Structure 1
Amino acid sequence: MLRRILAVPAGLIAGIICITIIEKIGHYLYPPPAGAGSGDMETMKEYVMQAPFMALFFVIIAYTVAAFVSGFTASKVADNGKHTSAAVCGAIFLFITIYMMFSLPTPVWFWILGILVWGLVFAGSKLALKK
């Protein structure tokens, strides 16, 4: 029972770590303006509207890796043979992603990929459940 309870936080933490690392690489290659990291939403909106394709694509890459790792981690920790924990992680990340896409002026391709990639939690979960 405890493993199933801890599986979702473990999957979320693993996913957050992936997103943080990959987005830091993206920010190193495509630095945002100085005020973008300080919570200034207007500066961030301007940056997203003018950001190069690869700067935004790094976020999609981060989401992709996070989805797979999150699903894998949640299913390994739960160790119950089900995809439930991975699905919960995917749903939480999906809601956060949609909220961020509503908050920032992201292009249509970002919306499509930003929603689709969270289905990869099931690929990670399936790999974790292989015997």
Structure 2
Amino acid sequence: MLVGVVVAVVVIAAVEVIGHGFYPPPAGLDPLDPANEAAFAAFVAAMPFMGKLIVLLAWVLGTFAGALAAAKIARHQTAAALLVALVIVTLVITMITKIPHPTWLSIGGVLLPIPIALLAVRLVYRRTTLPRVP
């Protein structure tokens, strides 16, 4: 599960960096600095729809990649993948409680990780249970 969480966070960060290339934050804005929460909230509020969609895409792709990695290496595939999804949901909830996000983005960020993780498990399960063709 730990590998899955690391993979998920790396993918989320990578997609968000790409998104910041299209929709850059103001210079000097450090989202990790609590003193900048108001400025970061203003940045999120002013971000165009596509920028916000990239954030949701980051959360979904990160969850999928992390759950897939966890499911591939874990003995209990579903449990590992769901734990990765729950960590991502927790991080999303933490983010949306600190920085206001649009309702649709908050709902998507909370509801999508579980089915995405189950999809990853399904893909791993299908791959490991199909007979090999010589």
Identify the TM-score tier after normalising by the shorter chain. Answer: 0.7 to 0.9
Partner of 1:110: 105
Larger gyration radius, structure 1 or structure 2: 2
User: Are 2:16 and 2:54, in contact at CA under 8 Å, matched by a contact in 1?
Assistant: yes
Distance in 1, Cα, partners of 2:118 & 2:67: 6
% identical aligned pairs: 26
Point out the structure with the larger helix share.
1
Partner of 1:3: none
Q: Which amino acid aligns with 1:55?
A: G
Q: Where in structure 2 are there 5+ consecutive unaligned residues? A: 129-134
Q: Deviating runs (4+, > 6 A) in structure 1?
A: none
Q: How many residue pairs end up in the alignment?
A: 123
Distance in 2, Cα, partners of 1:121 & 1:71: 5
TM-score, structure 1 as length reference: 0.88
Partner of 2:5: 12
RMSD: 1.3
SS in 2 for 1:34: coil
Distance in 1, Cα, partners of 2:12 & 2:99: 18
Distance in 2, Cα, partners of 1:35 & 1:46: 14
Q: Which amino acid aligns with 2:94?
A: Y
Distance in 1, Cα, partners of 2:76 & 2:20: 38
Deviation at 1:82, TM superposition (A): 3.5
TM-score, structure 2 as length reference: 0.86
Deviation at 1:46, TM superposition (A): 1.0
